[in-house]
Structure 1
Amino acid sequence: MPRVLHVLNALQRSGAEVMLAVATPHFRDAGYDTHVLSTGSERGVFAPALERAGCIVHHLPFERTPGYARLFRRLLTEVKPDVVHVHCERAALLYAALAGPATRVVRTIHAWFDFTGPLRLRKGVERWLCHRVFGVSHVVPSPSVRVNERRRFMNDTALCPNWYDDTRFFPPTDAERQAARRDFGFAPDDLVVVSIGNHEPVKNYHSALQAIGRFRAERRVRFLHVGRSVDPATGDSLAQLAARLGLSDRACFVGQSDDVPRHLHAADLHMMPSLREGFGMAAVEAMASGLPQILADVPGLADFRGIAPGVIHVPPTMEGLAAGLETMSATTDGEHRRNAAGIAEAARSRFSTGVGVARYLRLYGGLRSD
């Protein structure tokens, strides 16, 4: 049975790890064993979930030493992977050099990197060596990342969009929606705007809160944030900002949650105000749940333009986001229902687990992806 060894940093509940957990049964049905290497100082909190899904998890804390290279080579000897799939930017060239001579190497570049100066030059050289010398196939999750890699690093890539867990994210029934809103304390006529993601500057939640505060409508607007609400790097708190803006009674910060689908079921629309994304997974999960979208017109989110009626793009500013709220609040109930069905189907047909796994199986088999 072919084996794929996925190389990641510490295993957290984030995009690549969640995708692997969801996809592992599909890979197993296709005849592939899935091994995962954590290179963080600790295995990571998501390691048990990957093991429950059927992954074999290994742990080698990364060090810039010859000893680490020897340990990685020993792991390759033990696992004997047919494919090494690198998901981390750190030490990607090292993994390609150690695995490339004998094993097919795939590398997914998950983010829109804006490296400049000497770092940009070094990263470009690393990508050239990976591809030209060690035969690495570079893969990206979105057209925006693909364009950035070509323009910034002269790096040609294959496009393999990420996928979502279609067993968890789907439109709710009317009864499920009403129950979720009731359980979270939302009134039937509240306009609930949800954002999913941990607070950090690039997510631009400051502008979202300012837009909520500025927007005036007949319906009361409620802001629901799911994810870490305090930036660990700066200590900046979204709850404190909401208090300064006079929004404490209209904003709800639930923190990190394993019940994201239910929070989406309680909402009327999803807002993603990011300054950039590699691939807007939170947007895709919200689309799969049938939610209309207010998306920032930035790399990684602009790729969803035209995907379905009810998905709009605005500048990532307070004024742009407030204008998006104005547009969405004018949608009739009938339009909302029609748009919800179309948005969910667009997500399912493009980004469901089976579709994504099929792309990677073609890639592993040596055929170019879509």
Structure 2
Amino acid sequence: MTSQSMTSSDHTLYDIPVPNDTKIQTEINGTKTVENSVRKKSIPERIPAFGIICALIGVSLFSVASLIVKLLGELHAIEILIIRCAIQFIPYFAITIYKRHSLFGQPGHRLSLGLRCISGTTSLVTLYIAYRMMPLSDATTIYMASPVFTTIFAYLLLKERVTLIQAITGIVNIVGVVIIAKPEFLFGADDNKDDDVKYDKRVIGIILSIVSAISTAYSFINLRKLRTTPVPVVIMWYSLTVVIAGCAILPVLDRWRMPTGSRAWLLLLAIGAAGIGNQLFQTLAFRYESPGPVSVTRSFQIVLAFVWEVSIFHNTVEWTSITGALLITGCVLCTALLKWYNENPEKF
């Protein structure tokens, strides 16, 4: 090839302006190549903060499911949970079969998969029962203290270092839980008789909310070990475990009651759809955004719980609940922002 032809080729490649969405054919050393001048962007690339938006939708759907548990007072909380997870199981089982994923997960990760199913089941069962024993906002706020226990488990099981900020936020989180719980030896007897009658098992609800936070934290630790396991497989087994455990527990605590009326069935279908959507959008959030900023959005769940408490149930929110919620929300945000900074300082 002569120097003149080489110059012509360079001119063809670099100097001619290229219209959008066209293809250029160039000949180099007798070989034709085809290049796309402009690649069409996918939907996640076109929408700013797509991962954060998905996280917010997922958190909102989880909060809606929590609200439905309170609205369906005629059914036991575990029965609602069984129906929700049975509906949730169907699409993820179908996806697992369609994608030809291994039904039992990857070898070497099956113990972690089993522990995630057990801890996740414990978390949802205790949380759903707690919703019936105390205000929705208080149960949700205590449940959101799970990052404290995640830090503890990460230190004990994964040998991760605990920073000074993590230690401080952990202590403040515990203070927030105590303020919400209002133990009598610190706050004296509660003079609000109406709340005493309505939530006569509040102490049990507080304990169950703390158990839910602890089991959620342990579930997150096991999810870290399942990063290479397909998400539909994890959700499929998780949903099935909840159904089996719920069917074993419900006859002991109560009896199965057939839902009556279109309202009950519509709410049950809605909670099933919310469960499916929550898992889907949370998965998309972690796929298109780092865990740090996604974790920040979890605090929005506390805000929604207070909104439902005031607007739907017309309950008066006490100053102790607001103070405790602010402390715990602040700690969740602080922990998530610190994690975000450590993951990607430039983006932060």
Instruction: Report 1 or 2 for greater relative contact order, CA contacts < 8 Å, sequence distance ≥ 6.
Output: 2
Higher helix proportion (structure 1 or 2): 2
> Higher strand fraction: Structure 1 or Structure 2?
1
**Between Structure 1 and Structure 2, whose CA radius of gyration is higher?**
2
Q: TM-score, normalised by structure 1?
A: 0.23
TM superposition score normalised by structure 2:
0.24
